[in-house]
Amino acid sequence: MQDESGKAALGSPAENLVDLNGHTVTQNGQNSTTTPAPQPQFDSRAQSPAPCTPAPIIPREQWGGKYEFLLSCIGYCVGLGNVWRFPYLCYRNGGGVFLIPYFIMLFVTGVPLFLMELSLGQYGAAGPITVWKCCPLLKGIGIGMLCVSILVCLYYNVIIAWTFYYLGSSLQSPLPWSCDAVANVGLCGNGTTGNSSTGKGLSPTEKFWNERVLGVVLSEGLHDPGPVRWPLALCLLAAWVIIFLCMLKGIRSSGKVVYVTATFPYFVLIVLIIRGATLEGSLQGIAFYLTPDWSRLANAQVWNDAASQVFYSLGIGVGGLLSMASYNKFDNNVIRDTLIITTGNCSTSFFAGFAIFSILGHMAWKKGVPVEKVADTGPGLAFVAYPEALALLPGSVFWSILFFLMLFMLGIDTLFGNMEGITTAVLDEFPHLRANPLHKSLFLGALCFCFYLMGLLLVTNGGIYWFTLIDSFSTSFGLIIITLFMCIGISFFYGVNQFCQDIIDMIRHCPPWCTKVLLYFKACWVFCTPFLLLFILTYIFIEMYRTSLKYGSYVYPLWGKALGVCMGATCCLQIPIWAIVAISKETGTLKERFQKSIRPLNSWRVNNLDSTARVEEHMEAERVEGPFTVTLTDMDFTAMTWEEGSQA
């Protein structure tokens, strides 16, 4: 009779029997010494305490090399915002002066949060949800990250679909949005060749963008999406098929793809900068980009724009960084990687401005208008202003293909990171999917197909209105709140000192400069970063209350803005919901429940395969060895009988 642990049950006859070399004796020394007992029935190993066997750990993938992780993170961070948002913010907020608040916000907010997310993922070797075993109370942060990633993936691949459409159109000569195209002779002949900021008629690029690509002229607004535009729907399908194929084998496949997708945009930027420097009027555009306006430093909006750009361009709080870091080796130098990736990302933003404004300066010179008349941001820059400038260059077809290939590479790398955040979170919660390649592939295929179906709303005639709504609120206040709680939770619940020690444990041979840098990061995590996040959050709420959401001349209705607020609120409300669930699972008073819910679970720190050997190494003294064998002869039993007789 045995219990679940394999030990003999108390009070059973087997409790008092000992098997000694085929002889059965009782613990009080009585009973026959000649009765042989079958050895398999009472194995001495069954009497020893059974070691507690941990649940089997499903092998976790790891990056094929250090450069795969670095390139994946750089490709994830260096996205479309570096090309179409930073240069515009720079010239709008005082030119070169904008770099001062930008780098201050980078080193006080961006780099510390980036290091926190990378370190958390690498140490826990888990995705955005499972990693919160370190503090179960904050599991809602991981769920919130998952919600943000879903919203971002939903609309971000639509940009890649637009890029595909333009890439296919660039194979025509002349370009369909240039004045050389037969359909645009009337437009160009009327002299209304400026872009939308001139207020005069539509330029050929605007006509192509609004009528042929979006079809927005056929929609009245958010309430009137209209039919699906099937050319765009096919481009969106192709984009999701490419994402599926690149991620089919996880980081083993996407880690190889980034060697091309993360480096090609740099090649194109260098080529565009060299080409732009040879154009007439390019210096006018560069001067417009960098001319300082020191008075702008006193404007709070400049500082908010700097903090927001740093925050969003690094991809913090979405779960992608955390997931990619979870596939690192345990002893990877996470501080060094953080400095390399953040420096590379921000340098790319700065140098992208030269590629953009040198060619826009040439277009302004050719038209005889100020640079601010042709400058734009967001999709307006990538799909209207810049294509128009490229159409004015000799060999415009070549430059257009090169530019849209760069946009495709930038977009797909960022989407890799966001999709990795979703898939890692789900696979960690349901490990059997990771163990079965077929089930994992089916899950990824179903996920991509669901995103495609939901994305069809964004490629209708009124899809740009829905695109703008999701883009404006998916990464707004909800994302800031999620990141704020992540910073506070790690600093005060998990413990900032423990977190710093975890980083030192990972680096192992920590050089002196790493220890000193950690003191700076500790100060940021506890004081500076939370206060700056509160500043950004306050400014977002003020702007949300004071201004209306617009796309062009269309003003969003109140119900549309309320829908956007609900999107952001759904993401951040996961934090209190799952905190209540965690507390309700514990026992005791409310204070005791809270204290238990912020303690790491027993399974924390055992996910990383590289750390398994280290855990066993520290537990060596507690290991229970199997009993050794003692061979007894008949003389031993004779001696035992004689001793019993003498005692009697």
- Please state the residue numbers annotated as binding site for Na(+): 75, 78, 82, 313, 345, 410, 413
Question: SS3 of 562, please?
Answer: helix
Question: SS3 of 554, please?
Answer: strand
Six token digits for residue 135: 């503090």
The whole-angstrom separation of Cα 86 and Cα 94 is 12
The whole-angstrom separation of Cα 606 and Cα 610 is 9
The answer to whether the CB of 289 falls within 8 A of the CB of 87 is yes
Looking at residue 432, its amino acid is H
The whole-angstrom separation of Cα 502 and Cα 234 is 48
Question: SS3 of 262, please?
Answer: coil
The answer to whether the CB of 387 falls within 8 A of the CB of 160 is no
Q: Which helix (H) or strand (E) holds 26?
A: strand 23-26
Six token digits for residue 270: 């260098």
Six token digits for residue 93: 């907020």
Q: Which helix (H) or strand (E) holds 77?
A: helix 66-77
The whole-angstrom separation of Cα 195 and Cα 205 is 8
Strand-pair partners of 24: 19
The whole-angstrom separation of Cα 64 and Cα 83 is 30
Cβ neighbours around 110 below 10 Å, total: 27
Count of CA atoms in the C-beta half-sphere (13 A) of 332: 29
Residues contacting residue 523 through CB under 8 Å, at least 6 positions apart: none
**DSSP state letters, 41-71:** TS-GGGGSPPP-PPPPPPP----SSHHHHHH
The whole-angstrom separation of Cα 322 and Cα 122 is 7
Question: SS3 of 21, please?
Answer: coil
- Separation of CA 431 from chain center: 20
Binding-site annotation, residues: 75, 78, 82, 313, 345, 410, 413
The whole-angstrom separation of Cα 505 and Cα 122 is 11
**DSSP state letters, 485-550:** HHHHIIIIIIIHHHHHHHHHHHHSS--HHHHHHHHHHHHIIIIIHHHHHHHHHHHHHHHHHHS--E
Six token digits for residue 491: 């600093």
Cβ neighbours around 116 below 10 Å, total: 27
The whole-angstrom separation of Cα 283 and Cα 263 is 27
CA distances from 89 to 180, 269, 550 (A): 32, 19, 18
Question: SS3 of 278, please?
Answer: coil
The answer to whether the CB of 306 falls within 8 A of the CB of 98 is yes
Six token digits for residue 7: 């030990």
The whole-angstrom separation of Cα 80 and Cα 82 is 5
Quick one: three-class SS letters along 374-421? CCCCCHHHHHHHHHHHHHCCCCHHHHHHHHHHHHHHHHHHHHHHHHHH
